[in-house]
Amino acid sequence: MIIFDCDGVLVDSEIISNAIDAELMTEAGWPVTASDLIRNYIGRPKAEIWADIAGQRGEEWPVGLLDRADRLLLERMETELRPVEGIADALRRLPQRKAVASSSALPKLRRSLKICGLLDFFEPAVFSASQVARGKPAPDVFLFAAKQCGVDPDDCVVLEDSVAGVTAALAAGMRVFGFAGGLHSYPGHRENLLNAGAERVADNADALSEDFFTV
């Protein structure tokens, strides 16, 4: 079974989400760019990211700011969210059983896949870190996905775009491959994934084939 991360692998949401977060954090007195957030935090649950930065700045965020970020993201998803280029064709040609394991909250995750026309490739095997005790880089969501699908972790491979996700998949005892084909991909992205333990990295969805996952 192939377990896919969602944001940045299946849907190009990272550039939207991080742009919103960076704008609101900067307005609240913590200047940061979307590129900074992507480099340092992609793959981790949103609430954990905001909590970590609150610790760095030494004070809590204004009440309701994270909720505002979530609302803005849901609004912009409806008109701006697109699937990663070529990913639907890649999913069609991959014969393996498929699942999704994401750091996104389950309602947002399912909505993202539906907007992009990808939900039917995975239904009902769509799983969120909100369903387990710990988000990535802990292995919980990958182990949960395997258990719910009745598949041994040894028989799962993972496609991830983040160091946190690669770390989580390895901790789950799964083979892991990297993806650097999203619009948020940055210089050094593929090297970071390889250094984290990805066996190989696809630079675009066209590279995803049955052979890619069997090397």
Q: Do domains 2-12+82-213 and 14-80 have the same CATH topology?
A: no
Angle between helices 163-171 and 189-196 (to 10 degrees): 20
Catalytic residue among 7, 21, 140, 161: 7
Report domain extents, the chain: 2-12+82-213, 14-80
Please, which pLDDT band fits residue 52 given cuts at 50, 70 and 90?
very high
Are 53 and 137 contacting, i.e. CB atoms less than 8 angstroms apart?
no
Write out the CATH class of domain 14-80. Answer: mainly alpha
Catalytic annotation on 155?
Answer: no
Q: Which of 5, 12, 21, 140 is catalytic?
A: 5
Residue with tokens 């190989």, as numbered in its chain = 200
**What CA–CA distance (Å, rounded) separates 100 from 81?**
18
First-to-final CA distance of the chain: 15
Q: How much is the pTM?
A: 0.89
Domain over 2-12+82-213 is classified CATH 3.40.640.10: no
Structure tokens at 90: 């890649």
5 is catalytic: yes
Q: What pLDDT, in 10s, does the model give residues 126-159?
A: 999 999 999 999 999 999 999 999 999 999 999 9
Mean pLDDT of 69-75: 93
